[in-house]
Amino acid sequence: ERADVSSPTDASSSSRRTRNERALSPNEHGIDPRSIPRYVRVLQRRLKGRDASNDGGEKHRLFVVGGAARDLFLGKTPRDFDLLTDASWAVIKKRAQPCVVVGRRFKVAHCFEERPDAPGKRTGAFFELVSMRGEDRAEADDDDAENADGAKTETDTFRLPKEVSRRLRLDASRRDFTVNALAYDVESGFLYDFVGAIEDIKSGTVRTVHPSAVTSFKQDPARMLRAARVAARHDFFLAGNVVSALKASAHLLRREHTARLAGELKALFTRGFSEKAVVLLWTTGVLEHVAHLHATHVARAVDPGTNFVAAPPGAFHVPEDTPSSHDVLDEDVADRDEELRIDPNAGMVPARDFSDGEDTTHPLLPADLPWAVSDDVTKKKTGSALTRHRRGGKRVSASTLRRVVRDDPLFRVLRALDRRVARLGDTPCSETLAMACLAAPFAVKKLGWPFLEPEADPSREPSAVRRFASARFNTSLSHLAASRTNEEWLPWGAAAERRE
């Protein structure tokens, strides 16, 4: 959730952040201290250091940050806790045992929870702990000067040591969205907001910490999927500049590693808000870059006469220095459209121009695909120019979108999946079940829904639905069969005969 580089600190953004900075006491934010896991408080006491004299006399603080702090403020139970401390890595390794430090470029300490009745034995759960001192690249050059000036002992308006306050601001400035930039002090119970997160949470707005959402998504394209996840899970809405940036930068997801995209998509589809997430991905044009078959399916559900076909992975090359559509000048767009105009009578166009002269024409692909151009053209164009969805260029009415979401098999299956997660107490479903639900709509579209007729004749072989249905569902079917009249049985019997 943090960027590799810090946000710009121009005068306007700095003054805006200063106006939005707040520190809420426990009586003001309403977070229940009992919602903090027991072992997090154990870590806080260890880092504070009863034997601080052995480590140089410093007492360190522990903060809950990221999505966990947001969920605590909303009164929800966080799925996991991200922790931040002002202790050095040497102190963490000494006081936060048992822990394992992983990562080379960005270190993270996995602090394993111990059983309260058997100290030294792990429960299997762990918390991710990061040192603030690893966030500042210039720390080594500044430490001597800060010690000489007494920066570690002076306090600011938030009654925090100036060095801790500075590093908290730095951590908040590197977060993806403002709603994820809160910091909760485990010891004092104060909630710190340096980027206006509280106002955005109360208004239900997903906004990037960086003033430019396009730049934020260019730094980390996976943030586009996280924006949909946060908005869908908490019923937030996307800020206007975030929506525009999603439409302009969605093509950058094609150069992200597939394993990382798979992890983000798993979080979208297994946690009980998959239907809302797919609607957001569709309306912002992101879906076709991460699930091209489903984007094509939804496009044809919206307009059965469309010839839209989403580009599959690897269909074109997105250079590393590809600018977003916000960076393309109007005259460049005109030149681009002129060069990409394809004669419909020219036949099939090769998808790629291989150096060995191999014919890449595919007989099943239409000639007017926006991404079916040679690399000679692709290298000169931005990714968004080649992948701008013709579906996305046309406005879809709210009534049409509601009809598709209500009736289309994809959204009906996802609604059933979300209801199952809700019945299990928001426990994420398995990845296998989520992938099956994403594949099922294609079978329903081709073969229709499974026939759920109640079987009155016990001698008849049970249908596939009966064989694989749960006992509860079989009981419901039996009750339905018992309630049918003879007239109502006629269409069921006729349908069974047609199937046979």
Distances (CA, A) of 313 to 291, 292, 295, 409: 9, 8, 13, 24
Q: Is residue 285 part of a domain?
A: yes
230 and 109 within one domain = no
193 and 233 within one domain = no
Q: Is residue 126 part of a domain?
A: yes
| pLDDT averaged over every residue in the chain | 75
Whole domain around residue 472: which residue ranges?
A: 464-499
| Residue type at position 78 | P
Domain count, the chain: 3
292 and 244 within one domain = yes
30 and 133 within one domain = yes
For strand 118-131 and strand 82-85, is the pairing parallel, antiparallel, or unpaired?
A: parallel
Per-residue pLDDT reduced to its tens digit, 231-260: 999 999 999 999 999 998 898 998 888 899
- Determine phi and psi for 441, rounding to 5 degrees: -60, -30
Q: Is residue 488 part of a domain?
A: yes
122 and 37 within one domain = yes
201 and 257 within one domain = no
300 and 170 within one domain = no
47 and 157 within one domain = yes
134 and 15 within one domain = yes
Residue of 281, 299, 308 lying closest to 225 (CA atoms): 281
Q: Is residue 271 part of a domain?
A: yes
Q: Is 119 helix (H, G, I), strand (E, B) or coil?
A: strand
- CATH number of the domain that 33 lies in? 3.30.460.10
Domain end: 146, 179, 206, which one?
A: 206
Q: Is 115 helix (H, G, I), strand (E, B) or coil?
A: strand
Domain end: 393, 418, 442, which one?
A: 393
Q: Is the dihedral of CA 290, 293, 299, 301 positive or negative?
A: negative
285 and 149 within one domain = no
Q: Is 2 helix (H, G, I), strand (E, B) or coil?
A: strand
122 and 262 within one domain = no
The length of the chain in residues reads 500
pLDDT at residue 101 above 60? yes
Q: Is residue 343 part of a domain?
A: no
| Residue type at position 224 | M
Per-residue pLDDT reduced to its tens digit, 136-183: 444 444 444 444 344 445 555 567 888 888 999 999 999 999 999 999
Per-residue pLDDT reduced to its tens digit, 173-216: 999 999 999 999 998 899 999 999 999 999 999 999 999 999 99
pLDDT at residue 498 above 80? no
Residue by residue, DSSP assigns 348-378 as ---S---TT------TTS-TT-TT---HHHH
Q: Is residue 252 part of a domain?
A: yes
64 and 96 within one domain = yes
Q: How many angstroms separate the CA atoms of 193 and 196, rounded?
A: 6
Q: Is residue 6 part of a domain?
A: no
Domain end: 162, 178, 206, which one?
A: 206
Q: Is residue 361 part of a domain?
A: no
pTM: predicted TM-score of the whole model, two decimal places: 0.74
